Structure 1
Amino acid sequence: MKGAARAQVLRHGVFAVAVGVVGAAASVVLCLVVGWAYDLVCAHGWLLYLLPIFAVASLLLYRALKLPLDTTTHTVINDICADRPISPALAPGILLGTALSILGGASVGKEAAALHMGASLGDLVARPLNLRPMTGVWKGESHADGAGGADGGDVAVGSAGASKGAAGGAGSGGGASGGVHAYAASCGMAACFAALFFAPLGSTAFVIELSRYDRSVWRHAPFMLLACFVAFGLASIIGIGDVIPKVPLPALSWPVVGQCVVIAVACALVGTVYIQIIDGAQRLTKRISQNYYLWAALGGVLMAVLVTLFDWRGFEGTGANLLSDALAGRAGGWTFAVKALLTIVCLGLWLRGGEIMPTFTVGALLGASCTVMTQGDPAFSAAVGLVAFFAAMSRCPVTAFLMGCEIFGWAGAPAFALAVAVSFSLGRDVGLYGRGATGILKRATSAARARLVVKKP
């Protein structure tokens, strides 16, 4: 490896460590701010009735920061895969916007905020380091002169030739800048998420699967892993994050296999409906009117009315309290439907906040409710439901499996693998973040067949 190549590897290593530190710090700040907001709404229930005002205020904040009002995790992922730079303003915007939603009792999570903040901060940290894609460096070549790499037109972050956004969505394979923006943003996302959930392996897999295996992302996986472990280590020392309770994990047996299959089928069916309603609501509202202030205010009003009419105070916020109850075997029945309904109202009508913790909660509550059919352990059923429902929602099966093992323990690997396989196979291959791996595999197979046909004499 030449001297210039070694220098570039060193720069990537420095970046990975730096973004791991920044990601851990961002996760801690996010947890403290959102925790403060949730404590306030629990102590002062009347804040629920200010949710419409908070929802509009969060959008006005986005407008002041010159951020698109329809920004979601899906749109951030599309920007990453098109290798567009991520605005530094996204970090404070999503942090304060999520806090305002939680302050009003909205049924949203903070995990999407971690992803958005990580993407914004990762791209920001990379700018002064003049990073270049590693494709040629691994072969002993140098990109120091700014020449194009294997993907063509590779340039450094912040250079005049950097792509401002090539057309294309997930799985596009990177934009004209060689994917350094995509890698930097993805590395930040992974680090912040790893610090939040104490799951470095699952977090690395998550951003790779979210990008639908974009080569500008996965070819830098070693550095992403380094960033995730740095963030994980710091977060573990500080002890602030989403600590999900452990559950007893039974040995694999035929009754356990049956429980996993029943829960996974339920998660695939309910998860598909859940995703389609949220996505359909967002599409319909955009088609009717792109006045997001109106829709956000309406979402706040509906949330306040439903909670007041049916006394659903316990369903406000991220759902961490409900998740703890489910994993302690104290939940079941139709509680999953209540949390799903309130989350659909908030996310479908453009309130700022995330979908992952509410999704974990809905899945765990659904898994616990399946004990009526399986007669299994409610706590273990909730854990299986969390993993299976997340696989159906995200269309990221490897992530769901790894996070299940890192959160609950590797002894549950066989059960989690079975649940993920069934849920992912039966669910619709378009999740909340776009098309999943099955669709990508089908397109790749079709393209390979087309090339073979062209080559035939």
Structure 2
Amino acid sequence: MDNNEFKEKLMHKVDHNGHRAMSVVGWTLAAIFIGISVGLFATGFGLSMRYVIKFREAHKWMIFLLPIGAVFITFMYKQILKEKDSGTNTVIAAIQSDEHLPFRLAPLIFIATLVTHLVGGSAGREGAALQMGGAIGNGIGRVLKLNSTNKKTMIMCGMSAAFSALFGTPMAAAIFSMEVVSVGIMHYAALVPCVISSLVARYVANYFGLGAEIYPIEVIPKFTIKTSIMICIFAILCGLASMLFCTMLHKYESFLSGKVSNPYIKAIIGGTSVLALTLIVGNQTYNSTGSAIIMSCFTGASIGLGTFLLKMIFTTLTLSCGYKGGEIVPTLFIGATFGAAVGQLIGFSPALLAAVGMGALFCGVTNCPISSLLICFELFGYEPMPYFLLAVAFSYWVSGYTGLYRAQKIVYSKYRSNYIDKKVD
């Protein structure tokens, strides 16, 4: 590399449209800034989520406000966003193309997700994380007058920072934003900025008391031919479960939208459905994130085989009518309870199968095998590595071309080295 090339890498240039091209130093500083700003925003959101969930758990009557909460969120989005919202799909589409990603999406999804959990909707928090982080990253890119390509990298940095701050998994967070956009290829140009943003955001979150969740696996069976076959079979079942979950979400949302054109009526129907199902079940096990149930899968609690299916139904009803939050935490709930129930049924380490189920379901619904493997390592440790590796691989293979995010592209086939370039089903 000659002196001029070195200077070009260190210093940015301005193109004929007045857009800046970032340098190595520029990207490092920008990534640190995004990590701090998004980390603070996401930490505030995470701490607010804790308070809201504790408040609802202490005031069980809040679930009777489910229909009102759905109507309020619908009203907010129509008045403030003033355009059709498609959740995390909006962020993915903004990376794939030059589609508009408004900065006001960040505070909007912040408030809407808190309202969802305040009244007891079954949803996660990663949808808010990815949308908040993406919107803030894009906003910073616009302020810096970056070109289109660099703004997309800023969006990925923001997504990584928010995911890392909320979930406490900086390795998975750094890779996830690069992997989720296009299945089969990785946006490696964003690697260093995403890594920096992810680590800085996690430090910020940890500093302010938003710690990472660690799930203990006390009994890890020896990895043998028999146990490996058992894990492969279970992973195949997880892949099929992920297909079922994604199909339920997409089909019911399409059905409801086709039958009910008025968004407020749809919100009332959805909120009333979740309320009615909660009253039929007789408890609030399936409302909100269900983090306590996930943890109980690792402490020997008895888990019924139908638990994971009920969570699928609750989440489908919640997210199809206007509530906000995301599908990943419900996915982890489904994977953990499915694994624990099967483990108890066949007498094979329920905690290990719960962990394997979480990783396999995450992979099945996101089509992100590398991120899934990393999130397993960060949540459960490296000792069960062979089990995670097998489970993620088989789940990725079996889940086909379904997925949570319809804006996600399958660039290369999962089964051959063929370019197919299609949207997920």
Query: Given the two structures, how large is their TM-score scaled by the length of structure 1?
Result: 0.82
SS at match of 1:59: helix
Match of 1:243 among 209, 213, 216: 213
2:99 is equivalent to residue 127 of structure 1: no
2:45 is equivalent to residue 30 of structure 1: yes
Deviation at 1:397, TM superposition (A): 1.2
CA distance in 2, matches of 1:216, 1:264: 24
Match of 1:266 among 226, 229, 237: 237
Residue of structure 2 equivalent to 1:190 = 160
SS at match of 1:376: coil
CA distance in 2, matches of 1:192, 1:182: 16
Residue of structure 2 equivalent to 1:355 = 327
Residue of structure 1 equivalent to 2:81 = 66
Q: Deviation string for 1:205-229 (max 9, x for gaps)? A: 2111211169894312111111111
Contact 2:298 2:354 in 1 (8 A): yes
Contact 1:18 1:125 in 2 (8 A): no
Deviation at 1:128, TM superposition (A): 3.2
SS at match of 2:123: coil
CA distance in 2, matches of 1:211, 1:53: 34
CA distance in 1, matches of 2:234, 2:407: 23
2:384 is equivalent to residue 369 of structure 1: no
CA distance in 1, matches of 2:297, 2:60: 24
Deviation at 1:310, TM superposition (A): 1.9
Q: Deviation string for 1:232-264 (max 9, x for gaps)? A: 222233330551423234442234313322321
RMSD: 2.3
Deviation at 1:327, TM superposition (A): 2.0
Q: Deviation string for 1:157-196 (max 9, x for gaps)? A: xxxxxxxxxxxxxxxxxxxx3x222211111001110111
Deviation at 1:444, TM superposition (A): 9.7
Residue of structure 2 equivalent to 1:318 = 289
Amino acid at match of 2:81: K
CA distance in 2, matches of 1:439, 1:2: 34
Residue of structure 2 equivalent to 1:344 = 316
Contact 1:208 1:214 in 2 (8 A): no
Deviation at 1:369, TM superposition (A): 1.2
Query: Given the two structures, how large is their TM-score scaled by the length of structure 2?
Result: 0.88
Unaligned 5+ runs, structure 1:
132-155, 157-176, 449-457
Q: Percent identity?
A: 28
SS at match of 2:223: coil
Q: Deviation string for 1:271-294 (max 9, x for gaps)? A: 111110101112223333442222
Residue of structure 2 equivalent to 1:201 = 171
CA distance in 2, matches of 1:438, 1:90: 26
CA distance in 2, matches of 1:335, 1:28: 30
Amino acid at match of 2:9: A
Residue of structure 2 equivalent to 1:134 = none
Residue of structure 2 equivalent to 1:229 = 199
Deviation at 1:378, TM superposition (A): 1.1
2:63 is equivalent to residue 48 of structure 1: yes
Match of 2:300 among 324, 329, 341: 329
2:291 is equivalent to residue 297 of structure 1: no
Contact 1:186 1:217 in 2 (8 A): no
Residue of structure 1 equivalent to 2:18 = none
Q: Are the structure 2 counterparts of residues 95 and 242 from structure 1 closer, same or farther at C-alpha, using a change threshold of 3 Å?
A: farther
Match of 2:91 among 76, 93, 96: 76
Structure 1 stretch displaced more, 33-42 or 89-98: 33-42
Q: Are the structure 2 counterparts of residues 331 and 231 from structure 1 closer, same or farther at C-alpha, using a change threshold of 3 Å?
A: farther
Q: Are the structure 2 counterparts of residues 78 and 436 from structure 1 closer, same or farther at C-alpha, using a change threshold of 3 Å?
A: closer
Residue of structure 2 equivalent to 1:431 = 403
Unaligned 5+ runs, structure 2:
12-22, 421-425
Amino acid at match of 2:168: F
Amino acid at match of 2:192: P
Residue of structure 2 equivalent to 1:138 = none
CA distance in 2, matches of 1:253, 1:447: 36
Contact 1:84 1:181 in 2 (8 A): no
Deviation at 1:77, TM superposition (A): 1.0
Deviation at 1:85, TM superposition (A): 4.0
Amino acid at match of 2:92: I
SS at match of 1:65: helix
Q: Are the structure 2 counterparts of residues 407 and 442 from structure 1 closer, same or farther at C-alpha, using a change threshold of 3 Å?
A: closer
Residue of structure 2 equivalent to 1:171 = none
Amino acid at match of 2:213: V
